[in-house]
Every structure is written in structure tokens, then in C-alpha cells.
Amino acid sequence: MTKSAAAYGSDGLAQVLKQEIESLDPTLLPLQENLTQGSVAKGEGFSAVVLRVEEDAGSIRAKVAIFYAGVIAGCACADDPTPQNETAEYCEVVFVIQRDGGDAQILPV
């Protein structure tokens, strides 16, 4: 997350962080582990909201909300009472980004 590390101390850090998170491969995020309604996480089209950013000399810690879709998987047969459909899902994670190099770790809240 080199762009976010480079934006350290600027007023635009939250916006840069949001853009960088939304450009990540969704398989890097703990979407499946945080499902509450569905059985399979769909990573396409997720969005991020930066809730809080704390900066110190060595790192940036950002609490982020992730909005994404989950699927309640069924066989989608005509007589199946649970046809496949999408549900809205939400999780919060903390990104810890090292200022030198932009290495990041994603932690559960």
C-alpha cells in the first residue's frame, strides 16, 4: 500500500487509502470469514469506508468498513425454497500500513 504510505500526514490520506483498498484483489480481504447472512462472499464490487485513521512515526492504522455482497447458495431448482440470491454484508477491519515501504497487515476488529 505504497500510495497510502506516501500520503502520510496529508489531508488526502483517507481518500488515497479508500482508493487503494478498493483496488485490492478481494481475495486478500477477510470477506468470507466475516459473512453474517450468506454462505459465499462475492468480492466483486466491494466498497470501503475509512472510519478512523491514526498515524505515528512508524505506521498508519486505519479502521475500515467493507461493504460487499454475500450469496445464499441453493441449487436454484424450481422447488428449492432457497434459490440463490444476494445479501448485503458488512465487516470492519484494521489496516496497519508501514510508512517505510507500504507493507500492510489486515487485522480483525
Grid look-up 500500500 returns: 1
Domain count of the fold of the chain: 1
Range of the domain at 97: 2-108
pTM here is 0.87
How far is residue 25's CA from residue 27's CA, in Å, rounded to a whole number? 5
What phi and psi values does residue 53 have, to the nearest 5 degrees? -130, 130
Q: Tens of pLDDT along 88-99?
A: 999 999 999 999
Q: Sorting pLDDT into bands at 50, 70 and 90, what band is 86? A: confident
Phi-psi region of 86 (alpha: psi -120 to 50; beta: other; left: phi over 0): beta
pLDDT at 38: 87
